[in-house]
Chain A
Amino acid sequence: MNDIWDILPGLGDKLAAHVVLSASAIGLAMLIALPMAVWASRSPVVARITLGLASLVQTIPALALLALFFPLLLSLRAVFGEGLPTLGFLPALMALTLYALLPILRNAVTAQANLDPGVLEAADGVGMTRWQKLALVEAPLSAPFIMAGIRTASVWTIGAATLATTIGQPSLGDPIFAGLQTQNWALVLAGCVASAGLALAADNLLWVIEVGLAKRSRIQTFGGVAVVMLGILAALWAQGAGSDDRRIVIASKQFSEQYILAQLIGARLEAAGHAVEYRDGLGSAVVHSAVASSAIDISVDYTGTVWTNYLKRADNPGREAMYDAIREWEWQTNGVKVLGRLGFENAYAFAMRENRAAELGVASLTDLVAVAPRLTVGGDPEFFERPEWIAVRDAYGLRFAGTRNFAPTFMYNALQSGEADVISAYTSDGRIAADRLLVLADPKGALPSYDAMLMLSPRIAQDQGVIAALTPLIGAISVEAMREANLAVDREDAAKMTPKAAAAQLAVKAGI
């Protein structure tokens, strides 16, 4: 297991991206909130509406707020054209800006409301115009309180920016999400330490400015502002130095197999001389649309997922017919090229501990119906919303005592600890064999097949170099090889590997 101190120095580019994103969001929030606060201080109605809206935004979980901007921006393409980015910096900036509004706005409005009425009367009495009163009296006297609001906003924003990873914006969330999925706790800790350190540094620096404003010490105030500016400039410079021509962007969803395959694809492309970039830990729905819009170039998706979620089909025409229909549909409707199938299936399946299944006399989903009312079923966060679950539930008439959501890697732990009796497992998961799990048979064929497919965005669909580099992967990965690689990443003993190492081993196993 990597030591956290070895990982931290490698997070420089993530830190730079994190700083630029957070600073942009706070800067934009200030540009919006401060004029709004001035307006609100002149009109109680405006104050009530703006504070109400900003509070409402706060009640939306940050993760959901970030995700909501993807469909919003996608629909806005009708107005602004196809060039509008739907993933990455823009939606992350918009969501975090909304999030940062409330503390700035609330502190600014409160500061103005609490100004000494005598001082305001004097400002009018000596003949100040509205603007003079704002610039000479209200703004300087409110500044320390507004700065306190900016401090709060900064700490929140730096924390919430780790979630930008899920919509494809590089940040210090990348190591956290990657580490969570692969149970690499050093990586999680490194990401947390870095973002917490950044938040503390920002908080202290802004505190210096706040005190400078309160003491009316110009040296302290401007010194603090200068250090903040230097930090942002350094981050911008570091980011600018790293970015050149558009790289090939490879996506991975939030489970180990996706991280491994992304590394496998990336290694092959790099060997062929392409510059690549990884967008790890994306939501499943985001990945599909992102490839269609060329925000992401390469992903691995599964036939059953595309069939039910995007073709909106509930029937099961059989493995080959399904694949052919998807291939045709992706090309015709999205311009996405399905390069081929990797050779293994990662199907949804229901799994139980072998001894528990024997005890209850369960071997198939049909057997499960009778005992289900006494059992708890666990699924990944999206599972109980997915058509696959609804199809199985309705086909067999399954009624469980309860349903619980777990992050994919924790589902297996839940099964071992008894927090779930049945889980929605994945057939390529190495832990099925390692944990002595029984995959329940599906005699009614309610679950579709889930062949892993290599998807290329419209942008690179015709790129012969990319196609040549990736074609050897087609049909090359057996389910056994994939399980072994997955287990290597998911296990928690000394043999645990990084996704990159597991990908290299998988390449050897597959003979490519």
Chain B
Amino acid sequence: MTAAAPILLFDRVICRFGDITAVGGVTCVIAAGSFVALVGASGSGKSTLLKTVNTLVAPTEGRVLFGGEDVSALNPARLRRRVGYVFQGVGLFPHFPVGENIAIGPRLAGEKLPPERIAELLALVELDPAMARRMPDELSGGQRQRVGVARALAGEPELLIMDEPFGALDPVTRAALGNKVRELHGALGLTTVMVTHDMAEALLLADRVLVMDGGRIVADETPRALLAGEGGDVAQGLVAVPREQAERLAAMEGRLA
């Protein structure tokens, strides 16, 4: 990721809710084409910061630039169609079949998505194209989140933002879908920002990891640098957990061998 143009810029962003400061002054540039993980404990401000991008949250101070434009100056509905959004709640519309759920973004823009394109999007997330006619309550949790990803990609977004996208899934589904998203990121040339509290997931999927604590970014490193011990105490505290798990697993394997 060298010399790529910045697609997203956080400029001294502060978000306060009453007396609580969720984001306490974040300045950060995100290059086009990068896969960035935003990691931190619950309440560290990572979700709030992410939601300033598609203006689901408006910063109290500072600004967010998307493609060089201040997001607060853009029409929110139009902005959100350019930014794919995947979140833990998935939020499929229960009264629309899967196909209509996927096609909703383009439909709002006045464009009718042809069935072939819906089939293609379903295939992208490894679902049977025949599923387009099913209702969301007929799907498993993993299938629903796959549809959620397909819906986020339907409008050919410039940016994909994900808020704990795999948090509610079982570990096997979670790993498979994580890899799938990483693959699509590369194949479709996306820029992706993913919020997660799971450092292992961040290290395995992202090419840049931002660690947040108390509303601030306390580390900004590549996975490799974090594994090499960079990034300070908070980041290393988060890295220690999966590392220790991996070492214990390796030790068990050693004993078994």
Contact = CB atoms under 8 A, between A and B. Distances in A.
Interface string B79-90: 111000101011
A372 B196 CA distance: 86
Interface string A114-141: 0011111111111111001000110011
Contacts of B151: 126
Given A116-B91, A140-B95, A124 B56 contact: yes
A216 B77 CA distance: 27
B34 interface: no
A192 to B, nearest CB: 41
Nearest to B88: A118
B167 to A, nearest CB: 12
Contacts of A140: 95
A125 B91 contact: yes
Contact of B54 (A123, A125, A129): A125
A263 to B, nearest CB: 58
Contacts of B94: 116, 119, 141
Contacts, number: 62
Nearest to A119: B91
Contacts of A116: 89, 91, 94
Interface in A401-434: none
B119 interface: no
A488 B219 CA distance: 100
A123 B93 CA distance: 8
Nearest to B54: A125
B108 A128 contact: yes
Interface string A205-222: 000000000001000000
Contact of B85 (A120, A126, A129, A216): A126
Interface in A144-178: none
Given A117-B89, A118-B90, A127 B95 contact: no
B92 A126 contact: no
B34 to A, nearest CB: 22
Interface in A248-262: none
A211 to B, nearest CB: 15
A278 B160 CA distance: 73
B102 to A, nearest CB: 10
Nearest to A128: B108
A136 B79 CA distance: 19
A121 B85 CA distance: 10
A124 to B, nearest CB: 6
Contacts of A216: 95
Interface string B102-127: 00110011000000000000000000
Given A126-B104, A126-B105, A127-B105, A121 B79 contact: no
Nearest to A121: B91
Contacts of B109: 127
A141 B87 CA distance: 21
B91 A118 contact: yes
B109 to A, nearest CB: 8
A127 B56 contact: no
A127 B108 contact: yes
- Most chain B CB within 10 A, of A126, A128, A132, A140, is at A126
A127 B81 contact: yes
B24 to A, nearest CB: 24
A127 B89 contact: no
B93 A119 contact: yes
Contacts of A132: 77, 108
B108 A126 contact: yes
A122 B90 contact: yes
A127 B93 contact: no
Nearest to A125: B85
Contacts of A124: 56, 80
B78 interface: yes
Interface residues of B, number: 22
Contact of B56 (A121, A136, A141): A121
B107 to A, nearest CB: 9
B59 to A, nearest CB: 17
B56 A125 contact: yes
Contacts of A141: 94-95
Nearest to B151: A126
- Most chain A CB within 10 A, of B87, B91, B93, B105, is at B91
Contact of A122 (B77, B81, B92, B108): B92
A132 B75 CA distance: 15
Nearest to B89: A118
Contacts of B93: 119, 122-123, 136-137
Contacts of B81: 126-127
A118 B167 CA distance: 14
A127 B91 contact: no
Contacts of A128: 77, 108
A216 B135 CA distance: 11
A127 B80 contact: yes
Contact of A125 (B78, B80, B95): B80
Contacts of A122: 85, 87, 89-93
A121 B87 contact: yes
- Most chain B CB within 10 A, of A124, A137, A141, is at A124
A124 B93 CA distance: 12
A121 B89 contact: yes
A123 B80 CA distance: 10
A137 to B, nearest CB: 6
B77 A129 contact: yes
Contacts of B78: 127
A467 to B, nearest CB: 68
A392 to B, nearest CB: 68
A129 B108 CA distance: 9
A469 B80 CA distance: 80
A319 to B, nearest CB: 76
A122 B81 CA distance: 12
Contacts of A127: 76-81, 105, 108-109
Contacts of A118: 87, 89-91
A436 to B, nearest CB: 73
A121 B79 CA distance: 15
A128 B91 CA distance: 13
Contacts of B80: 124-127
What 4 A-B pairs have minimum CB-CB distances, sorted nearest first?
A: A122-B91, A118-B89, A127-B80, A125-B85
Given A122-B93, A126-B81, A141-B94, 20 more contacts: A116-B94, A118-B91, A119-B91, A121-B87, A121-B91, A122-B87, A122-B89, A122-B92, A123-B91, A125-B56, A126-B85, A126-B108, A127-B78, A127-B81, A127-B109, A128-B77, A132-B108, A136-B93, A140-B95, A216-B95
23 contacts: A119-B91, A119-B92, A121-B87, A121-B91, A122-B89, A123-B91, A123-B93, A125-B54, A125-B80, A125-B87, A125-B91, A126-B104, A127-B77, A127-B78, A127-B79, A127-B81, A127-B105, A127-B108, A128-B108, A129-B77, A132-B108, A137-B93, A141-B94
